[in-house]
Amino acid sequence: MILLRKLVTLLLVFGLLFIEACNKKKPVLPSHAPAPTIAVDLPDAIPENPTEQEPASVTQEKEPEPPPVKTKPKKATRTAAKKTPPPASAPPAASSPATNNNQTVASLRPPAPPDTAIAAAMPSAEITKQKENTAQIVDATENNLKNLSRSLNDEEKAMKTQIQSYLQQSRKATTDGDFERAFNLAKKAQLLADALIKK
C-alpha cells in the first residue's frame, strides 16, 4: 500500500514536471513593422526582355561618379624592377623611363652586405666582453662534462648529447659573428650540465 502511494506520487510529480517543461515561456517577439516602401514611377509598358533595360539604368547611376585617382604603380614597372640588371652601359636608359613617369624606382643592385652578421646594436667593448664570457662558459661546461666519471642512464645520456649539441651550435654562432646567440646557447649548455652533475 505504501509502495503504491509512493508510485502514484512519483508519477504525479513526473507528470507535473513534464507539463511544466512543455509549457516553457516563449520569448516575446517585437511586433512586425511593415517594410518601408519607396515610391517609384512605373513605366507605361514593360519590355519583354528586362535585362536590356537594367544595364542602361546601372550605367546611368555609375556615370555621375568620377573615376578614382590611382596612386599605385603599374604592374609593368614592378616587373621591370625584378629583371636582371643590364650591362654597365644600359643604366642611363633604364633611368629615363622612371623620370618620365615621376615614380621612384629602387636601385637594381642590392646594397653591399655588411662585414659583420646581424647582431644587436652593442658597443664593441660589450661584444668583446660577451665573447670572452661565452668562451669561458663553453670551456667550463666542457670540463664539467669531461670530469663526469659516473655511469649515465639513458635520460642522462640524452642530456649530455643535448649539451654537446648546444656547445657545438654556440661555437658555430661565434664563428658566424652572432655573439648574442652564441652566449645564449652556451648558457643553456651550462645550465643543463649543472643539472646533470647534480643528479
Rounded to the nearest angstrom, the gap between the alpha carbon of residue 101 and the centroid of all alpha carbons in its chain is 36
As its CATH architecture, domain 133-198 has: Up-down Bundle (1.20)
Q: Could you state, in order of their start, the residue ranges of all structural domains in the chain?
A: 133-198
In tens, the pLDDT along 9-45 reads 999 998 888 887 766 666 666 777 677 777 777 777 7
In tens, the pLDDT along 132-181 reads 999 999 999 999 888 888 888 999 899 999 999 999 999 999 999 888 99
- What is the value of pTM for the model shown? 0.40
The pLDDT confidence band at residue 99, using thresholds 50, 70 and 90, is: very low
